[in-house]
Structure 1
Amino acid sequence: MTQPTINHVVFDIGRVLLHYDPQIPFSRIIPDEHDRRWFFENVCTHDWNIEQDRGRGWQEAEQLLIEIHPDHAENIRAFRSNWHEMVPHAYEGSVEIMRGLMEGGHDVTMLTNFASDTFREVQERFDFLNETRGVTVSGDIGVIKPQREIYDSHVASFALEPAETLFIDDSPANVEGARAAGWHAVHFTGADQLASDLEKLGVNY
């Protein structure tokens, strides 16, 4: 099989370049494992949180939940106020690969599902998030992966050729979304596997 021509590499951020785990602060806030699991399954759920990635403000998000779960108001507000603890460190192996690609002359951008304010927060904490040619943040444009519109928006913003673009994401659904938009894409499971995937595609760094 002929290797594709890859001229652009696009990185997801959460769980690809940055570690993200809401359990970190909440293991302290709600020490009981059963109660904590119930809270994430019924109150501050993934579906609730993803709407902040789509652009909903935190005040509105908190109020919606507090109206339904008034007894959990303090813990609902604790999600945002302790959010910084959920992103404790970068994945150095992935960052090294990203920087290596840029140093090797590859065009690198980022495409992420992230609330606008929390993304700016991590941008201040982690310098490498300011080193690529740019980033599309879902919270800024009101569209999330794996919706086709976010991939097309990224292509338009950075003048990319989809058939020459490689996307790296930890979510299989987002990988498939990129492929549906005409991109090449690999499922991120770790830096070593990413290095192997890049080698197979002929993307050197």
Structure 2
Amino acid sequence: MKEAVHISGVRQVGPDLPELLARTARGDEQAFSRVYDVVIGPVIGLVRSVLRDPAQSEEVAQEVLVDVWRLAARYEPEHGGVMNWVLTLAHRRAVDRVRSAQAASDRDNRAALLAQTPAFDEVSEEVETRLERESVRRCLRTLTELQRESVTLAYYRGLTYREVAELLSVPLGTVKTRLRDGLIRLRDCLGVTA
């Protein structure tokens, strides 16, 4: 089927777009040149409406036409016309560019936020750790000797409740009670809320 193909404003009669695209799929550069001439205007218009930036629009339009050349064999006429297929490729490329630009912007923003985050301060961390240790030591001194002994064995030496009971030669229930009471007193002394 022959249709009028508008190239540079001149009306020409020749193969229709599906036929030109089929020839392009077989590597016919002249057919591709004619497809290019017909679709480049609408492609740039669509891409520019998405991107707004003329330079990026031209770049994306060229990528779309390279896709048309590479993917011409994938065109399926039963799914729509050639122009719709090309414009769908253009729209996808333009949206991908917007998403890519947004992702780059998001990465830059995250990097800027990380750059503003104060560096780890070893001195203040060490001071804080020492103060916490001193608070724990002070609070451990408030426990009874039996509670302190049980807490020290269980939490500083890593023994199980059963091992603490065996080491101290007291029933397991007694160790559990000492530990529970000792931890409650430590919590209260340290001002930790349950």
TM-score using structure 2 length = 0.24
TM-score using structure 1 length = 0.23
Higher relative contact order (CA 8 A, sep 6+): 1
Pick the structure with greater CA Rg: 2
Structure richer in helix, relative to its length = 2
